[in-house]
Amino acid sequence: MSAYLFVISLCVIVIVSFFFNMIAKRTNIPSVLMLILLGLGIQQVLNVYGITPQYFNTLEVLGIVGLIMIVLEAALDLELRKEKWPIIWKSLVIAFSSLLFTSLLIAYILQFFIQNMEFLPALVYAIPFSIMSSAIIIPSVANLGKDKREFMIYESTFSDILGIMFFYFLIENVNAAGVGEVALLLSGNIIITLVISVVLSYFLTYIIQFIKSDAKFFLFLAVLVLLYASAKLLHLSSLLIILMFGLLLRNHKVLLFGKLKRLLNDESIDALFEDFKMITIESSFLVRTFFFVVFGISLSLSSLLNWEVWTISLLFLTVIYGVRYFMFLGVERKDIIPQVFLAPRGLVSVLLFFAIPEDFKVPEFESGALLVVIIVSSLVMAFSLIANKTDGAANTENHNIAQPETTIK
């Protein structure tokens, strides 16, 4: 393929992705699902011409950058106020509990189907299936009510962060001697990362208000990616750095006090926030587009003909929605539809699945299960959002019809 044809292909993909977003807003069908199907279609075309590109490194890099952009975008959306505390703690409890119980149950299912599979490798495989995709949820819940939308943004962001921390902490501390040492290492890791995150976030926010260059966003994006990668090499929970920077930029008036607050210029920071939010949304759209298209191109469809793949996938999905139902029933208790069914798997699941170390890999496990879970969970979310939209429209219509009668009476 010539350079011109390659550039034309990239441009066409971006344009098609834009129209997918428009379709998603009107139909509530996740644009990510359409992007994966587009990638599968491109794969078939490449197969006709005998082209078999290798996309692992590209997929990994896009996944890392996409993860950073998505968490930053989510953090810039989170407004911290006292009245939002109920949403914050409930979403955190549900995200943590769902991740923990889903991972454990899926690990036991894997041990049942794959003989001689030890519990630790099974748990490592289970974590990617237990993490919600903020990359799919955040752009898909725009039509939900404000409280439900904010709840899903919080929950999906917490699920991403906790799931990634859990995954990397597990594979990096496999030789820990007992639960006590694991708990000590985990708490120490989080405390150290939080302290570093707060200091770095404030320093970056303080410095950025004095930079007048028009290219400061990508300068600081490079700095954030550098900090993320460096912290990852040091085995720290580096995603907290991205989250804290976004939260501080969005909520500096709430999170800072005294002299620290006076050192920041509110007008400058507010203007920076608006610029960051706009460019972050645009960049997230671009990265997400190419990530899921490349993922679709790299998928192997042959494993979908295996009945065991479908059996395991359906059991995984049963666990995912069963755990969510009981968590919502215990914490939220009412008005839990459609939130229970908004649990798609996506970017983080793929990224972590491909990041499983060789020491943990089990050849008997069919990767097609990941594709089935991603597609089915996205479809479940789509149907739930469509049904919720229809019910909401019907309720609104009934309310509008009944209102004049009440007024006349």
Distance, CA of 67 to chain centre: 7
pLDDT digits (tens, 9 = 90+) for 120-131: 889 999 999 999
Q: Is residue 362 classed as helix, strand or coil in its secondary structure? A: coil
Total domains in the chain come to 1
Angle 146-148-153 from CA coordinates, rounded to 5°: 95
Distance, CA of 323 to chain centre: 19
Contact predicate 191/236, CB 8 Å:
no
Q: How far apart are CA 261 and CA 112, in angstroms?
A: 55
Contact predicate 197/244, CB 8 Å:
yes
Answer yes or no: is pLDDT of 402 > 60: no
CB atoms within 10 A of CB 370: 24
Residue 312's pLDDT is: 92
Residue 82's pLDDT is: 75
Of the pLDDT bands very low, low, confident and very high (cuts 50, 70, 90), residue 252 is: confident
Which of 119-128, 275-284, 387-396 has the lowest average pLDDT? Answer: 387-396
Contact predicate 272/249, CB 8 Å:
yes
> Higher confidence at residue 11 or residue 196?
11
Structure tokens at 364: 């008997």
pTM: 0.79
Least Cα distance to 68 among 371, 356, 347 occurs for 347
Phi, psi torsion values for 159, nearest 5 degrees: -60, -45
Contact predicate 297/43, CB 8 Å:
yes
Answer yes or no: is pLDDT of 211 > 80: no
Residue 322's pLDDT is: 96
pLDDT digits (tens, 9 = 90+) for 140-177: 787 788 888 888 988 988 898 788 878 877 877 665 54
Phi, psi torsion values for 80, nearest 5 degrees: -90, 110
> Higher confidence at residue 394 or residue 132?
132
* Domain containing residue 21: CATH number: 1.20.1530.20
Residue 232's pLDDT is: 75
Contact predicate 238/223, CB 8 Å:
no
Q: How far apart are CA 120 and CA 174, in angstroms?
A: 8
Q: Could you tell me the CA-to-CA distances from 168 to 62, 239, 350 in Å, in that order?
A: 19, 11, 14
Structure tokens at 375: 């597609």
Q: Could you tell me the CA-to-CA distances from 260 to 76, 100, 252, 264, 355 in Å, in that order?
A: 20, 37, 10, 7, 39
Distance, CA of 329 to chain centre: 23
Helices (H), 209-237: 216-233
Answer yes or no: is pLDDT of 377 > 90: yes
Q: How far apart are CA 158 and CA 352, in angstroms?
A: 16
Structure tokens at 5: 């044809």
Residue 46's pLDDT is: 82
> Higher confidence at residue 329 or residue 233?
329
Answer yes or no: is pLDDT of 298 > 80: no
pLDDT digits (tens, 9 = 90+) for 28-63: 777 888 888 898 888 888 888 776 665 556 767 777
CB atoms within 10 A of CB 242: 25
Residues near 283 by Cβ (< 8 Å), separated by ≥ 6?
Answer: 69, 221
| Amino acid identity for residue 184 in this structure | L
Of the pLDDT bands very low, low, confident and very high (cuts 50, 70, 90), residue 395 is: very low
CB atoms within 10 A of CB 122: 23
Residue 53's pLDDT is: 62
Q: Could you tell me the CA-to-CA distances from 177 to 166, 185, 188, 358 in Å, in that order?
A: 17, 11, 16, 22
Q: How far apart are CA 197 and CA 286, in angstroms?
A: 27
Answer yes or no: is pLDDT of 110 > 60: yes
In terms of average pLDDT, the best of 204-213, 309-318, 330-339 is 309-318
Residue 398's pLDDT is: 46
Which of 83-97, 110-124, 379-393 has the lowest average pLDDT? Answer: 379-393
Residue 144's pLDDT is: 82
Contact predicate 99/337, CB 8 Å:
no
**N residues, the chain:** 409
Q: How far apart are CA 134 and CA 141, in angstroms?
A: 10
Residue 284 structural domain: 3-408
Answer yes or no: is pLDDT of 294 > 60: yes
HSE toward the beta carbon, residue 293, CA cutoff 13 A? 18
Q: Could you tell me the CA-to-CA distances from 310 to 113, 318, 387 in Å, in that order?
A: 12, 12, 26
Q: What is the DSSP letter of 142?
A: T
Residue 11's pLDDT is: 92
In terms of average pLDDT, the best of 94-103, 241-250, 369-378 is 94-103
